[in-house]
Structure 1
Amino acid sequence: MLRIAQDALTFDDVLLVPAHSTVLPNTADLRTRLTRDIHLNIPIVSAAMDTVTEADLAIALAQEGGIGFIHKNMSIEAQAAQVRKVKKFESGVVSDPVTVRPDMSIAEVRELTLQNGFAGYPVVSAEGELAGIITGRDVRFVQDMSKLVHEVMTEKSRLVTVKVGASRDQVEALMQQHRIEKVLVVGSSGQLTGMISAKDFQKAESKPNACKDEQGRLRVGAAVGAAPGNEARIQALVDAGLDVLLIDSSHGHSEGVLQRIRETRKAFPNLPIIGGNVATAAGALALAEAGVSAVKVGIGPGSICTTRIVTGCGVPQISAVANAVAALKELDIPVIADGGIRFSGDIAKALAAGANCVMMGSMFAGTEESPGEIELYQGRSFKSYRGMGSLGAMSKGSSDRYFQSDNAADKMVPEGIEGRVPYKGMLKAIIHQQMGGLRSAMGLTGSATIDDLRTKAEFVKISGAGIQESHVHDVTITKEAPNYRLG
């Protein structure tokens, strides 16, 4: 007799039931939790994939209210640098600004500017005393690159500074009065404690929904594998300012992964840690007992993932999410639904199944901010997209995610493919469409908040004819909609 655990459902097997509603889509509250302590303004996180998330996409997504996870297919130094790039993009008060010495050359300052992406640096002596500031204006027309910083900088006596704790209004008034873009923050004894940039004020005003930490910096996550020897990588990421760590594996309900989570939790008791992936209630509970702050659910639902076909293992995503959520209800540990999202309606279904947020890869692959070059094929623009279980990705460093240690391509057993997706333009346009669809779903189900959607919305199970009826039918599409693409 077959040991059938349950009948399982995925996105196309169900629809949400419309209900009486007093909720207008534009009044729906999209705020949710990533972990107990980290809140998102939209229920979206990006996948830690090498064709999806590096600093540029993480910045763009955090500005819209979500969070991105930097992939691990790079050196420790490179991944830490990606995290730092996000954390320094919009800093509020930069508490540890990059500084230069008075005896550095302009050529060295130019090199720093190319490396960091900004041109203003406080000048600090070898003894740590503030000597002045050098900005892009100071070096823009310098021809002699061997000139030293102290020859062109604005000296300390001419600097505009504020004391620790100065209000934003005070800082803006000083900037306007003196027509400057940067103000240095000094302590009671005159030592440099931080720097404030006008550009950060402008960024904050233009993106009020951004996901930020307590210091006004954009939030960012990063992924590491579960194989032994990741201690140095984790420490480097924490030192770079990481907000949340993802210990990522194709099978999170594995003793090796659980032990790695226990060790990391012991070493970093206050660090938010996400563990995954699992597809069962038992797997979710095991991760919770190991010490995770959130559980990531999804084995094989992704568009580029072949795990279910290669291994014959997996659980359809709606059932997997619902089972994990039910198991973790008393523990109050958030659940992330990872994979299988094709339309905004799938986001609504994943949340209604109990997930706190969704992780997406294919939705963001092909955006301007995703890694990789735009390719032209048969007159259309594309970008590469591959699974972290593909041969190409595993040979770059993700093989431990699939418990494979032999780096020879002919020895690997891939659980993903390499492909391409149409170029989609800016990420903010994708977010606008997806969140617009989610808002409409919340209006239709009478859900004022994400928690309402998670706990009150009801499903109906549908047939194959039902999903066929739901899609466009009996017509030829002549103009593609921005939120509806097939294939």
Structure 2
Amino acid sequence: MLRIMEKGLTFDDVLLVPDYSEVLPRDVSLRTQLTQKIALNIPLLSAAMDTVTESKMAIALAQQGGIGIIHKNLTPAEQARQVRKVKNFESGVLTDPITVTTECTLEEVRNIMRGRNISSVPVLSTDGKVAGIITTRDLRFQTDLNKNITEAMTNRDRLITIHEGATREEIIDRLRTHRLERLVVVNDRNELRGLITVKDLSHTDTHPNAVMDDEERLLCGAAVGAGDGTEERIEQLVDVGVDVIIVDTAHGHSKGVIDRVRWVKQHYPDLQIISGNIATAEAAKALMQAGTDGVKVGIGPGSICTTRIVAGIGFPQVSAIANVAAALKGTGIPVIADGGIRYSGDMAKALAAGANSIMVGSILAGTDESPGEIEFYQGRAYKSYRGMGSLGAMSAGSSDRYFQEGSSADKLVPEGIEGRVAYKGSAAPIIHQLMGGIRAGMGYVGCATIEEMNNKPRFVEITSAGMNESHVHDVTITKEAPNYSR
């Protein structure tokens, strides 16, 4: 006898039923919980994939109000460096700027500036006090680069500084009064506490919806595994200020993941942790008991994932989201829907099924912010996109995600493919269209918040004919819409 649990439904199997509404799309709130302690201004994460999220994508997501998850196909040091780039990008105050000492030569500081792509460096004395600052302008007409840095820098007695704890208004007033592009932040003991640049402040003004930590740094997450070497990776990520880690595996309802969640909570009780991927209520309860702060749902729905075909394993995504959300109802543990999203309408359905936020990969792959170079094929521009279960990604470091670490390349059993997606330009307009679609959906069902969206809307199951009717039909598209293609 077959042990069939239930009928499973995915995005194309259902539609949301319109309801009486007094809610306009422009008035809805997209603010949501990523974990029990971290809130986002939009319910969007970029996938922890090596063709989707490194620092550029994470910066773009955080500026828009979401969060990027740096993939783990990097050394622990490089992954931490990617997180640091995000944390230092738009804080208004760079809390850990590159510094040099008064013993450096002009050539040494020039090489540092070029290597780090920075235009100014605070100079510290041998006892760690602020001695001055040197900029590219100071170096511009220097002919003898063997000279000591003190012969070209702005000395402390001429350096305009600001005390730590100053308000934004005080900072802007100081910059304007003295016509400065940067300010060194010091404490009462003349110790360096940061560097403020006009560029960072203007970035903050340009992105009012950005999500930041208590120190006004962009939020950033990172993926880790459950196997050997994870302790070192987590330690380095914590040192650079990562906001959340995801124990990212293909099967989150496993002893290794549960033990890793417990270990993280024991050693880093204040660190927010998301675990996954899962698809059942039992898995959600097990991870909740282990101490997770959020769960990620999705076994095999991704466009580049072959787990359901290779292993015969999976669960249709809408039903999986609903089952996990029901199991965690009232616990305060948020649900992240990961995979299977093709349109903004799918995102609205995921939220209505119980998800608090949504992780996307293919939609953001191919943008300027995704890793990799633009390739041309038959006159069209593309960027590469591959599953973390593909041979290439597994060989590069993600084999442990599929519990195949230690296997030689010719022994790996892939659960994903490598491909390419059309080049799409900047991620910002894509995110705008996605959020606009969610807003529209919330307006149709009369929901003003994500919390209402989790509980109020009703679904109707449709046939394949109903889905064909839902798509554009009986017409030739002559001008593509920015939010629809087929």
TM-score tier by shorter-chain length is over 0.9
Contact 1:249 1:277 in 2 (8 A): yes
Matches within 5 A, 1:285-324: 285-324=285-324
Q: Which moved more, 1:424-433 or 1:259-268?
A: 259-268
Q: Which residue in 2 is equivalent to 1:476?
A: 476
Counterpart-to-counterpart distance in 2, 1:290 and 1:129: 46
* Residue type of the alignment partner of 2:254: S
> Are positions 1:373 and 2:377 aligned together?
no
Q: Which moved more, 1:96-105 or 1:395-404?
A: 96-105
Counterpart-to-counterpart distance in 1, 2:143 and 2:468: 67
Identity score, percent = 59
Counterpart-to-counterpart distance in 2, 1:322 and 1:34: 17
Contact 1:11 1:317 in 2 (8 A): yes
Counterpart-to-counterpart distance in 2, 1:333 and 1:116: 40
Counterpart-to-counterpart distance in 1, 2:341 and 2:113: 39
Matches within 5 A, 1:405-416: 405-416=405-416
1:76/1:442 CA distance change after superposition, 3 Å: same
Q: Which residue in 2 is equivalent to 1:387?
A: 387
Q: Which moved more, 1:116-125 or 1:318-327?
A: 116-125
TM-score scaled to structure 1, two decimals? Answer: 0.98
1:59/1:117 CA distance change after superposition, 3 Å: farther
1:83/1:21 CA distance change after superposition, 3 Å: same
Cα distance, 1:418 vs structure 2: 0.2
Counterpart-to-counterpart distance in 2, 1:327 and 1:418: 35
Q: Residue by residue, what CA displacement relative to the aligned partner does 1:1-56 show, whole Å, maximum 9, x if unpaired?
A: 21110111000000011111111111111111101111101100010000000001
User: SS at 1:337's partner residue?
Assistant: strand
Cα distance, 1:118 vs structure 2: 2.4
Cα distance, 1:476 vs structure 2: 1.5
> Are positions 1:101 and 2:106 aligned together?
no
TM-score scaled to structure 2, two decimals? Answer: 0.98
Q: Residue by residue, what CA displacement relative to the aligned partner does 1:167-214 show, whole Å, maximum 9, x if unpaired?
A: 221211111111111112222232222222221210110000001111
Q: Which residue in 2 is equivalent to 1:82?
A: 82
Displacement over 4 Å in runs of 4+: none
Q: Which residue in 2 is equivalent to 1:242?
A: 242
User: SS at 1:277's partner residue?
Assistant: strand
User: SS at 2:382's partner residue?
Assistant: strand
Counterpart-to-counterpart distance in 1, 2:278 and 2:113: 43
> Are positions 1:357 and 2:352 aligned together?
no
Q: Which residue in 1 is equivalent to 2:168?
A: 168
Contact 1:367 1:423 in 2 (8 A): yes
User: SS at 1:210's partner residue?
Assistant: coil
Contact 2:385 2:421 in 1 (8 A): yes
Matches within 5 A, 1:115-194: 115-194=115-194
Q: Which residue in 1 is equivalent to 2:339?
A: 339
Cα distance, 1:296 vs structure 2: 0.3
Q: Which residue in 1 is equivalent to 2:27?
A: 27
Q: Which residue in 1 is equivalent to 2:254?
A: 254
* Residue type of the alignment partner of 1:104: C
* Residue type of the alignment partner of 1:43: P
User: SS at 1:127's partner residue?
Assistant: coil
Q: Which residue in 2 is equivalent to 1:65?
A: 65
User: SS at 2:441's partner residue?
Assistant: helix
User: SS at 1:331's partner residue?
Assistant: coil
User: SS at 2:419's partner residue?
Assistant: strand
Q: Structure 2: which 5+ residue stretches go unaligned?
A: none
Contact 1:251 1:276 in 2 (8 A): yes
Contact 2:249 2:277 in 1 (8 A): yes
Aligned length: 486
Please give the root-mean-square deviation of Cα atoms over the aligned residues, in Å. Answer: 1.2
Cα distance, 1:470 vs structure 2: 0.2
Contact 1:406 1:412 in 2 (8 A): no
Q: Which residue in 2 is equivalent to 1:274?
A: 274
Counterpart-to-counterpart distance in 1, 2:279 and 2:108: 51
Counterpart-to-counterpart distance in 2, 1:20 and 1:203: 40
Q: Which residue in 2 is equivalent to 1:348?
A: 348
Counterpart-to-counterpart distance in 1, 2:348 and 2:52: 22
* Residue type of the alignment partner of 2:292: V
Q: Which residue in 2 is equivalent to 1:425?
A: 425
Matches within 5 A, 1:223-242: 223-242=223-242
User: SS at 2:436's partner residue?
Assistant: helix
Contact 1:85 1:116 in 2 (8 A): no
1:270/1:472 CA distance change after superposition, 3 Å: same
Cα distance, 1:105 vs structure 2: 2.6
Q: Which residue in 2 is equivalent to 1:221?
A: 221
Cα distance, 1:143 vs structure 2: 4.3
